[in-house]
Amino acid sequence: MPTHRLFHGSVITPVSVHKTEFWPQALLCVNSAGIIEWIVSDVESSQLQTVALEKGLVLDDSVEIYELRHGEWLMPGFIDTHTHAPQFPNIGIGGQYELLEWLNNVTFPTESRFHDTTFAERVYSAVVDRVLNSGTTTCCYYGTLHLEATQVLAKLTHDKGQRAFVGKCNMNRESGKYQEDSTSQSIENTKKLISYIRALSPNSAPLVHPILTPRFAISCTGDLLDSLGDMVKADPTLAIQTHISENIGEIDFTLKLFPKASTYTDVYKRAGLLTDRTILAHAVHLSNDEMEEIKSCGSGISHCPTSNFYLNSGVARVGEMLDRGLKVGLGTDCSGGFSPSMLTAVRDAGIASKVIGMTSVGSLPSPYATSILTNGKAGTDENGQATTCNGIVTPKLADKTLPLSALLHLSTLGGAQLCNLEQTTGSLEAGKEFDAVLVSVRPETGNANIWANLPAGVNSSAGEEMPADSLEALLEKFFFCGSDRNVRRVWVRGRLVGGVEK
C-alpha cells in the first residue's frame, strides 16, 4: 500500500455559498490514513518533484501519482442530508398523491416488509451501492421502525465504507398498522440501535453515526417526543433528523394534535429536539419567525426540492434561509424524490430558486398582485426599496436564481455543516479526510450530451477544434447534463468505494 497518493490536475472545491475555488493544475497529497496532507493550487507537471520535496515528500515507489486529463477533476463527494433507504423499491410511483395519502397508500405498506431481515439486506445492499456509485460519500438514512433491519443498514454502510447517519424511525401513532406499540418499546429499541452502531468502530473514528429519528410530529405522541428529548439531554452529542412543514395538510393536522404548540417548529422545541445537531427536512412553509427560531437553536434545513415538486408540497425559500444564516444542505428524499442521485437534487434546487424568483412579489406584473408563495402584498419600505410581504428588504439570494457556487455549496460543504462534519469533510482542504469524487466529462464516458470541448488536437479532427471549456463551465455541464457515467471514482477517507472504475 502506498504511503502517499498525489493527484495532479483540476480540483474544484467550495469555499462558501458565494465562492468556489477552481484550480486547473493543483497538486493534492493524501496520506495512508486517508487524510489530505496538503494542496498546492498551481503546479505544472515539470514541478511535481520540486514541490513534493518542498513538502518533505520524496517521489519514490511508495508514492502513487495520478495525472488527471482535461475534462477530469476532483471535487468533494456529495452529502445527501435526507433520504429513506427502505423506500427505494417505491421510487417513481405515487406521484398522484400528496404527502399524507402517499404515506398511507405507498410508503407504509412497503416499509412494513422490512420486518424480514433477508429482504432488508437485499434492498439495503443495493441502496448503499447505488448511492455510493452516484458520488454520495455521506448520507443521512432513515430506516424503518424495525430494529434488526436498521442494524442491517448500519452494518452495510460501515462495511461498504460510506460515511453515514442511520436512524430507526420512532412512530407510535397515526400510522395505521405500521407503528410501534408504545413509547417504551420505541425508546428501548432506539437505545439498542445506538449501542450497536457505536460498537461498529470501537477503536477508531467512526464513519457511521446513530441519529434519533422521530419520523414526524404526527406519528409521535408527545410522550415519545419528550422521551427522545430526554435522551438528547443525557447525551448532547446525539444527532436528530425529522420532517417539518412539508405540506399544508400535514401542518394543520400537526397543530391539531399539539394544541399547546404555537407552530410546527414549537412542537419540536418544546420537546427539546431543536439542537445544533438537528436536521429538519423540507421546511417548505416555515414562517420568518420559525426560521429565526431554528437558526437560534443552531438547527438546520435539508432542502428536498425533487420531493417537494413530485408530491406537490411547495417550494422552500432557500435563498432567504441562506441570507438569514441558516445551515442548509440538500436531500434526495427517496422515494418522495424520484432519483437517488444528488445531481437531480442540484438541478431541482436550481429550478426551485427560479420558480421562487418568477413568483416573488417583485416579479409580479401588478404592485397589488398577491404572491402565490407568500400570500403577501407587494410594496416598498420608507426608503423606496423593494420589500417582501413581511417588510424585509429583499436580500441577495432570496427570490433569485441560486448561482453555481450556491448549488455546489448546498450539495457538499453546506451538507457537512448541517451534519456538524465541516471539520472533517465537505471540501478538499488540508487536514480534512479525502471524501472525493473523480468526475470525467470526456467523450469516452459515453454521455454524448456532456462531452467537454477539449484543447486542440485532443480527441478532435483537423478543423473541428474548439476553445477548451473552462473548469467552471465543465462543472455546470456536469451538474445539469451529467449522470453516474461521469462519476469515475469515489473515495471515502481515502478508500475507493464506488464509481464506474472501482
CATH code at position 123? 3.20.20.140
Q: Are 72 and 10 in contact (CB under 8 A)?
A: yes
Residues 443 and 478 in one domain: yes
Residues 147 and 256 in one domain: yes
For residues 103 and 117, give the distance between their C-alpha atoms in angstroms, rounded to a whole number.
Answer: 22
Q: Are 5 and 35 in contact (CB under 8 A)?
A: no
Q: Are 8 and 66 in contact (CB under 8 A)?
A: yes
Residues 67 and 126 in one domain: no
Question: How many domains would you assign to the chain?
Answer: 3
Task: Give 317's contacts (C-beta < 8 A, 6+ positions apart).
Answer: 286, 356, 373, 398
Residues 471 and 336 in one domain: no
SS (H, E, C) 173-238: CCCCCCCCCCHHHHHHHHHHHHHHHHCCCCCCCCCEEEEEEECCHHHCCHHHHHHHHHHHHHCCCC
For 239-342, strand residue ranges (E) read 239-244, 278-282, 300-303, 327-330
Residues 186 and 214 in one domain: yes
Any domain includes 259: yes
Residues 413 and 452 in one domain: no
Task: Give 382's contacts (C-beta < 8 A, 6+ positions apart).
Answer: none
- Which three-class secondary structure state does DSSP give residue 70? coil
Q: How far out from the chain centre does Cα 153 lie?
A: 18
Q: Look-up: residue for cell 456536469?
A: 478
Residues 350 and 385 in one domain: no
State the CB neighbour count (10 A cutoff) for residue 178. 18
Q: What would you measure as the largest C-alpha separation in the chain, in angstroms?
A: 74
Residues 282 and 161 in one domain: yes
For residues 233 and 235, give the distance between their C-alpha atoms in angstroms, rounded to a whole number.
Answer: 6
CATH of the domain at 59: 2.30.40.10
Beta strands at 278-282 and 300-303: parallel, antiparallel or unpaired: parallel
Residues 408 and 324 in one domain: yes
Q: Are 301 and 283 in contact (CB under 8 A)?
A: yes
Distance (Å) of CA 169 to CA 29, 146, 164, 179, 262:
40, 8, 16, 9, 25
For residues 127 and 148, give the distance between their C-alpha atoms in angstroms, rounded to a whole number.
Answer: 17
Any domain includes 25: yes
Q: Whose CA is closest to 336, among 373, 380, 306?
A: 306
Residues 89 and 131 in one domain: yes
Residues 106 and 241 in one domain: yes
Residues 138 and 273 in one domain: yes
Domain of 450, in residue numbers: 4-76+425-498
Residue spans of alpha helices (H) in 259-382: 264-270, 288-297, 305-310, 318-324, 342-359
pLDDT in tens, the chain (502 residues): 799 999 999 999 999 999 999 999 999 999 999 999 999 999 999 999 999 999 999 999 999 999 999 899 999 999 999 999 999 999 999 999 999 999 999 999 999 999 999 999 999 999 999 999 999 999 999 999 999 999 999 999 999 999 999 999 999 999 999 999 999 999 999 999 999 999 999 888 999 999 999 999 999 999 999 999 999 999 999 999 999 999 999 999 999 999 999 999 999 999 999 999 999 999 999 999 999 999 999 999 999 999 999 999 999 999 999 999 999 999 999 999 999 999 999 999 999 999 999 987 544 443 323 333 443 333 333 333 334 434 444 448 999 999 999 999 999 999 999 999 999 999 999 999 999 999 999 988 988 777 766 655 444 433 344 455 789 999 999 999 999 999 999 999 999 999 999 9
For residues 437 and 492, give the distance between their C-alpha atoms in angstroms, rounded to a whole number.
Answer: 9
- For the stretch 210-228, pLDDT in tens is 999 999 999 999 999 999 9
Task: Give 117's contacts (C-beta < 8 A, 6+ positions apart).
Answer: 148, 149, 152
For residues 180 and 229, give the distance between their C-alpha atoms in angstroms, rounded to a whole number.
Answer: 18
Any domain includes 361: no
Q: Are 239 and 165 in contact (CB under 8 A)?
A: yes
Any domain includes 38: yes
Any domain includes 362: no
Stated pTM of the model: 0.92
Measure CA of the first residue to CA of the last residue in the chain; give whole Å: 17
Task: Give 134's contacts (C-beta < 8 A, 6+ positions apart).
Answer: 78, 340, 341, 342, 343, 484, 487, 498
Cell of 72: 477530469
